[in-house]
Structure 1
Amino acid sequence: MPERMHAVVVAEPDAEWRLEERDRPAVGPDEVLVRIRACGICGTDLWLAQNKLSFRPFPLVLGHEGVGEVVAVGEAVTKRKVGDRVGVFMMQKACGVCDFCHEEHTNSFVTAANCDNPTLTGVNVDGAHAEYVAVDVGGTVLLPDAVSYELAAPTLCAGYTVWAALRRADAKPGARIAVVGIGGLGHLAIQYAKAAGYHVTAVTRNPDKRDAASELGADLVVTDGQALKDAGGADVLMHTSSNHAAAVDALTGLRPWGKLVMNGIAFDDMALPALALVSNSHQVVGSAHNGIEYLVEALDFVARGAVSPWVEVFPSDRVQAAYEKVVAGDVRFKAVVTY
């Protein structure tokens, strides 16, 4: 095994994503060393690279949608073995000693937000945009044999996020699900909702995405909240957009006792219509990664062919081109870099 490796390094805010040679990481007693074969680019990676979110000083090695095979295990590891195909997701490890951890919660984004010192792959420690990454064994998930690395990578965050949100919504069989925003999250939300047996409406003002939404399985495609209401409304609104205004407008089409499930994160203000929320007994639910069992389920949908991420694949020497294309919004719908 080589002692050196290539990693994608972001030297400073808004800097070029550049391949650099670095020492291969050593594996700790509770860690596994993963030879990364592919890693997706997430919207969170953009914000970290642009310093809109900051959890540690630059330079950064980003990436929390990494997949590959285990090539070494620490002396205390029993859950993984050399040769296992695994995914490396963001919520790697809780500190285990703070007040929140003493409550013994399942690892999730809530843990990431409330643990005093969580380990977050590609956020506050080096991530998977590299040939090798060493991570706590609890920060890995086994990949089904039927899932390629290129399709597994975006499932580790985008697919995980939307499927966990659908589970959190707890909609009745045959419910009407509306997906607001057809992008990295939204294109998967349509597929997961359809695969789970729901009636699916896509909400987008972008004429270029109307045909894509139908191809992804949407039963209807509408432009705004009034059109959604006129088409029968929705029991659950999946907010997957990077613009809060689109989701607020779509609330016009939310049925009584319906739920707005928040997946999208944006920097514009979000002002909710209080009278409509109270009068219709609407619920606003925040949701991200709600436990690894939902990631296992999300991967199973892909393994069975019920869901298939739309990806554009870039070799590692074109990672800057991949980053620029994601920033420009020109990827349909997830960029995956191979290593």
Structure 2
Amino acid sequence: MKAGVVPAVHARWQLEDIEKPEPGPHQVLVKVHACGICYTDSLLAEGVLSFRPYPLVTGHEGVGEIVAVGDGVVTRKVGDRVGMPITQKPCGRCDFCRQNHPYSFVTANNCVAPVLTGVNVNGGQAEFIAVDELGTVLLPDGISYENAAPTVCAGYTVWAALRRADGPPGGTVAVVGIGGVGHLGIQFAKAAGYRVVAITHSPEKHDLARRLGADEVVPDGAGLKAVGGADVMLHTAPSHGPAIDALKGMRPWGKLVLMGISADDAFPVPALTMTAHSLQIVGSAHNSPEYLNEALEIVARGEVKPMIEIFPKEKIGDAYQKLRDRQLRFRAVIQY
């Protein structure tokens, strides 16, 4: 079969022939129709994160149709349309797993031996993938494969963050950064009934943010304060500086929700601001599978539409180069 392969660190991605997998016990074989490229894939390709030797087949935003099932499969059947998020299977035996937490990226980071799709096993950048049946999610009938792919990670991320923030009904959500995750954050927050303020230093994104549903667009924390502040802030920018500055515009008892991964891990906070206004900083990492199901349903209803650039599998090298050059608007999806 054909697969998008990362041959070495910093290397151009390329389409190669590799062995087609067969489903083992409790596994399903999925014919992949589309797979998104995530920033985490870039961290793997550039050697910032390392879990196994090169060459790699990445991809934790794969979606497709089940074409075969292995022995013992009871929750999936041939013909099911499924997505394959990053956490495929925990070990089930470590101290963390014995607490019976729901599958999420928290599981990926705390289980001692998780199976992670596209990270420590081959992912969805291929024509076929064999995955544990519990490492799949059923897709709603109304969603296309191309829109489902980025929802499996990026959409999941922002919707789970909104649910974790638990903002007041009718409150205001600020979204820092209008990119691959932030453009979805605006739409999901609007779909949930919030007033939305987009925070971006890029003037060329102001009109786009409004088209996506933002009620206000401001450049920084002073601007956020001037339009009334926010109860919840979703930090989706690739660097922490804009979110730290935007704390100036948070309302009392507000929550800043961190999501995703930044190469800059330090997050210095203004202690007086945090204390004087009783603010909270909350981490969010997918949190629970029901949030992925909710996100997919919202996209299927047309309330949120990912902005994607679609590439045939033969152009996977071009797609990754556009991501590295920050030229995507906003998510790359590869068709297989």
TM-score normalized by structure 1? 0.98
Of 16, 27, 32, the match for 2:28: 32
Post-superposition offset of 1:264: 3.9
2:291 aligned residue: 294
Structure 2 residue 219 is matched with structure 1 residue 223? yes
Structure 2 residue 239 is matched with structure 1 residue 243? yes
Matched-pair contact (CA < 8 Å) for 1:241–1:265: no
Structure 2 residue 336 is matched with structure 1 residue 330? no
2:97 aligned residue: 101
Look up the equivalent residue of 2:148 and give its one-letter code. Answer: A
Look up the equivalent residue of 1:315 and give its one-letter code. Answer: P
1:113 aligned residue: 109
Matched-pair contact (CA < 8 Å) for 2:12–2:321: no
Q: Distance in 2 between matches of 1:328 and 1:234?
A: 32
Q: Distance in 2 between matches of 1:278 and 1:202?
A: 25
Q: Distance in 2 between matches of 1:64 and 1:91?
A: 9
Structure 2 residue 150 is matched with structure 1 residue 128? no
Match of 1:336, SS? Answer: strand
Q: Distance in 2 between matches of 1:48 and 1:120?
A: 13
Matched-pair contact (CA < 8 Å) for 1:241–1:264: no
1:180 aligned residue: 176
TM-score normalized by structure 2? 0.99
Q: Deviations over 1:225-281 (max 9, x none)?
A: 011001100000100111101110111111110000001421233211011111111
Look up the equivalent residue of 1:158 and give its one-letter code. Answer: A
Match of 2:196, SS? Answer: strand
Look up the equivalent residue of 1:311 and give its one-letter code. Answer: I
Q: Show the 5 A alignment for 1:12-161.
A: 12-161=8-157
Provide runs of 4+ in structure 1 moved above 6 Å: none
Match of 2:102, SS? Answer: coil
Look up the equivalent residue of 2:309 and give its one-letter code. Answer: E
Q: Any gaps of 5 or more consecutive residues in structure 2?
A: none
Look up the equivalent residue of 1:174 and give its one-letter code. Answer: G
Post-superposition offset of 1:154: 0.3
Match of 2:327, SS? Answer: coil
Look up the equivalent residue of 2:275 and give its one-letter code. Answer: V
Match of 1:99, SS? Answer: coil
2:262 aligned residue: 266
Q: Deviations over 1:32-87 (max 9, x none)?
A: 00000100000000110000111111111000000000000111101111011100
Of 200, 203, 208, the match for 2:199: 203
Structure 2 residue 277 is matched with structure 1 residue 284? no
Q: Deviations over 1:104-157 (max 9, x none)?
A: 111111111110000000011100000000000111011111100000000000
Structure 2 residue 325 is matched with structure 1 residue 321? no
Look up the equivalent residue of 2:187 and give its one-letter code. Answer: Q
Q: Deviations over 1:5-24 (max 9, x none)?
A: 01111111011111110110
Identity %: 60
Q: Deviations over 1:164-197 (max 9, x none)?
A: 0000001111010000000111000000000000
2:167 aligned residue: 171
User: How many residues are paired up?
Assistant: 335
